[in-house]
Amino acid sequence: MLRWILFSTLASGLFYGLYCLTLRRDRWLQLSRAYLIITLAFSLALPFIRLPQRVVNDMMAVPVPQIFQGDEITVTPDGMVDNGIDMLPAIWTFGLVLTAAYVVFQLIAQGIAILVLRRKYTVYGADDGFLIPRGTSLILVPDDTAPYSFFNQIVVGSRDLSDEELRCILAHESLHVRRAHSFDLLAMRLMCCVLWFNPFAWLLTRELRAVHEYQADAASLDSCSRESYLHLLYRQVTGIGYGHITNNFKSINIKKRIVMMNKTTTRFGAWKALVALPVAALLLMVGCKPATPEADASAAQPQEVVVNTNDTIYNDLGHPVEVDPEFPGGMEAMMKYLAENIKYPEQAKAEGVQGRVFVRFVIEADGSVTNAQVLRGIGGGCDEEALRVVNAMPNWTPGKQQGKPVRVQFNLPIIFKLQE
């Protein structure tokens, strides 16, 4: 969980920074739209992407050893084991539920508002002479409601609007409908629910809303005069919006919109987006784990297990392993095992000894634990206790290289901490 939080935040932060430096002030609007959606989705999925080991090795010019593979384990005098991040899943789930509930509330509230307006006022369509996409509903409200679109529904406050101004507004909102901007915003908001802790996710969403408005402004200028449209923008800037799922006519700073309308598309602007490719490759290299070769045809059929007699110890410098060894039952089972077996030494409690013990051991090709040693200890009996529990571990599922069990070095930090 912590790894996912760190890598997704790092990735989205880098992509947001690149966007601000490259595409943000350019009129390659459709490219900007794709960039913002794809990079946020990539940031969310990055920690879960698995690449074949050969691809990882090809991407890395120099093999990087995994110095410490295990999560840090914190041991307290009452015998409980806490790795310091056990609360993260609960906190993340709480935030996810809260933000998702807010988005659902917005959708339901907006849907109800649209239904009320449809029952109260006449609903028009393209067949009624209005320049809107077919299948789109237009609701003209006899007040000064700020125009907005919600999926294929367009609401316009028609009080004191001239025919020219109405044509400008409909061109603007129709572009939102044709380009399915509401689906963009909904997808981005759902990703923000998952990444609620990530400020860059919300910033990328805000930038997408701006791009939507720039695209709609361009469509409006094709349908009405610049003077009429700018006058309309100034009139609508004080309107009242309807929430963050809608495409609101006045939702983006008017000064930025006018500046963007006056810009021209630069010749090499599209090439700026290519800067993101080496960044994505670097993130893949650092953030992805090698894939487990489950699709190997030879592994699909039952066969006799052949133990590799090579004395190479993998996961040491220059020897990454394709499939990591696994404690029976996974990491949670190992945490439970340590919780039930590690005891805070009385000598350490009496002498106030606390700190981090680094234990290195080897998972043999048959899954047994051997060669356990303390790389750095703290004394007070903590080193011996850590070694005792590691040596007493049950057999692991061994690591594999090219489908054969191999010896793999594993490193485990254990924190002995006195309660305050």
Residue linked to tokens 């109800």:
112
Number of H helices, E strands in the chain: 13, 14
CB 181 within 8 A of CB 133: no
Structure tokens that stand for 388 in this block: 């005792």
Q: What is the mean pLDDT of residues 192-199?
A: 94
**pLDDT at residue number 226:** 78
For residues 197 and 95, what is the distance between their CA atoms, to the nearest angstrom?
A: 8
Q: Are 66 and 241 in contact (CB under 8 A)?
A: no
Average pLDDT score, the chain: 80
User: Is 50 exceeded by the pLDDT of residue 377?
Assistant: yes
Q: Mean pLDDT across the stretch 179-189?
A: 94
Q: How far apart are CA 155 and CA 173, in angstroms?
A: 9
pLDDT at 66: 40
- Does the structure show a pLDDT above 70 at 217? yes
More confident residue, 190 or 356: 190
| Phi, psi torsion values for 141, nearest 5 degrees | -100, 125
Query: What's the 3-state SS for 299-331?
Result: HHCCCCCCCCCCCCEECECCECCCECCECCCCH
Show the DSSP H helices in 147-180 as ranges.
163-178
Q: Is the pLDDT of residue 220 over 50?
A: yes
Asked if residue 329 has pLDDT above 80, the reply is: yes
Q: Name the pLDDT band for 48 (thresholds 50, 70, 90).
A: confident
Average the pLDDT over each of 127-136, 339-348, 378-387, 410-419 and give the range with the smallest value: 410-419
As a dihedral over the C-alpha atoms of residue 26, residue 32, residue 36, residue 42, rounded to 10 degrees, the angle is: -120
Task: Let me know: does 292 contact 52? Beta carbons within 8 Å.
Answer: no
Characterize the bridge pairing of strands 137-141 and 247-248.
unpaired
Give the domain 310-416 fold: TolA/TonB C-terminal domain (3.30.2420)
With beta carbons less than 8 A apart as the criterion, state whether 241 and 248 touch: yes
Looking at residue 240, its pLDDT comes to 39
DSSP H or E stretch at residue 7: helix 2-21
- pLDDT at position 50 is 64
Q: How far is CA 108 from CA 113, 138, 238, 321, in A?
A: 9, 19, 25, 50
Structure tokens at 85: 């991040």
> What is the pLDDT confidence band of residue 202, given thresholds at 50, 70 and 90?
very high
Q: Which residue has the higher pLDDT, 213 or 51?
A: 213
pLDDT confidence of residue 420: 58
Measured at the CA of 150, the angle between CA 203 and CA 134, to 5 degrees, comes to 130
pLDDT of residue 121: 94
- The tokens describing 328, both together, are 């029976």
Q: Do residues 363 and 407 make contact, with C-beta atoms less than 8 angstroms apart? A: yes
Residue 297 has pLDDT above 90, yes or no: no
**What is the C-alpha separation between 12 and 6, in angstroms, rounded?**
10
Higher-confidence position of 58 and 190: 190
Q: What is the pLDDT of residue 271?
A: 76
Structural domain boundaries of the chain?
Answer: 2-65+88-285, 310-416
Statement: residue 384 has pLDDT above 90: yes
pLDDT for residue 186 is more than 80: yes
How many Å apart are CA 395 and CA 329, to the nearest integer? 11
CA distance 29 to 208: 10
The total number of residues written for the chain in this structure: 420
Asked whether the predicted pLDDT for residue 222 surpasses 60, the reply is yes
Q: What is the CA radius of gyration of the chain?
A: 29
pLDDT tens column, 247-293? 655 455 666 777 777 676 666 666 777 778 888 877 777 655 544 44
Which one of 63-67, 78-82, 125-129, 162-166 scores highest in mean pLDDT?
A: 125-129
Per-residue pLDDT, 209: 92
| Percent of the chain whose predicted confidence (pLDDT) is above 90 | 37
